[in-house]
Structure 1
Amino acid sequence: MTTSAQTGSAETAATTVVLTDVAAVKVKALIEQEGRDDLRLRVAVQPGGCSGLRYQLFFDERSLDGDIVNDFGGVEVVVDRMSAPYLSGATIDFADRIDAQGFTIDNPNAQNSCACGDSFH
């Protein structure tokens, strides 16, 4: 269930990733601190880490061929077409507690993950 978006060849898919309201507020605040309105949160999966694959979250202004774009209250989350199968159904949250601080990813596709939570298989 993908449809073409307004920007080039980008696609929108409701099932790729979910950004919680708390995470969306944090991402929006971080983008505002950068003083730019062209940035989006890019979520990618790259080889590496102790479990084989590693998550990457970073701000990006690029639009790549095959990108899947989801909008969460004015915050765009972009996933490249190679990472999309690994991230389908994943939830990105932001924690600010004593035991956890920063962005977290709950990924139903991860069969195993390392103790640090930075990589998965």
Structure 2
Amino acid sequence: MSQETAAEATKTEEQTHGVTLTDAAAAKAKALLDQEGRDDMRLRIAVQPGGCAGLRYQLFFDERSLDGDLLRDFGGIEVAVDRMSAPYVQGATIDFVDTIEKQGFTIDNPNAGGSCACGDSFH
């Protein structure tokens, strides 16, 4: 492997994050974007201070590219994580559930030391 190829491989590795999007979540995100006729947006997960447990997730569609974004593609849906949030969501899985009891995106985060009853924040 040439030095240039090794450098490119390292650069590619540095641009990814450890969040996983399940097939169900990718399909739902893609369906929502298709419904809106948008192919210029990505799904962004971020962590912000707040909530009753100290940190709050933000999961939203975003057309912006922030400096230092870490990106991964899941079947045509790009998931973006900013560099500050990445350590907090490393290894997290975003899923979509559709049952009688609950419908929506869920985040299973092994880094969360504890969470609140509503599930919107963690520490």
Structure with a larger share of its residues in helix: 2
Residue aligning to 1:42:
44
Residue aligning to 2:74:
72
Aligned positions of 1:6-45 closer than 5 A:
11-13=15-17, 16-45=18-47
Residue aligning to 2:3:
none
CA RMSD of aligned residues (A): 1.7
Shift of 1:2: 5.6
Length-normalised TM-score, structure 2: 0.88
Aligned length: 115
Q: Could you list the per-position Cα deviations for residues 9-60 of structure 1 after superposition, in whole angstroms to 9, with x for gaps in the alignment?
A: x8223xx200000000000001111211110001000011110000001111
**For the residues of structure 1 that align with 2:103 and 2:74, how far apart are their CA atoms?**
21
Q: Sequence identity, in percent? A: 74
Q: 1:18 to 1:2 in 2, by over 3 A?
A: farther
Matching residue within 95, 99, 102 for 2:101: 99
Contact 1:3–1:12, Cα closer than 8 Å, also in 2 = no
The letter for the 2-side match of 1:106 is D
Residue aligning to 2:11:
3
Structure with a larger share of its residues in strand: 1
The letter for the 2-side match of 1:44 is A
Aligned positions of 1:108-119 closer than 5 A:
108-119=110-121
Q: Could you list the per-position Cα deviations for residues 54-76 of structure 1 after superposition, in whole angstroms to 9, with x for gaps in the alignment?
A: 00011111111110001001100
Length-normalised TM-score, structure 1: 0.89
Contact 1:71–1:77, Cα closer than 8 Å, also in 2 = yes
Q: 1:2 to 1:58 in 2, by over 3 A?
A: farther
**For the residues of structure 1 that align with 2:68 and 2:12, how far apart are their CA atoms?**
10
Bigger CA radius of gyration: 2
**For the residues of structure 2 that align with 1:47 and 1:33, how far apart are their CA atoms?**
32
The letter for the 2-side match of 1:30 is L
Residue aligning to 1:60:
62
- Secondary structure, in 3 states, of the residue corresponding to 1:50? coil
5+ residue gaps, structure 2, are 1-8
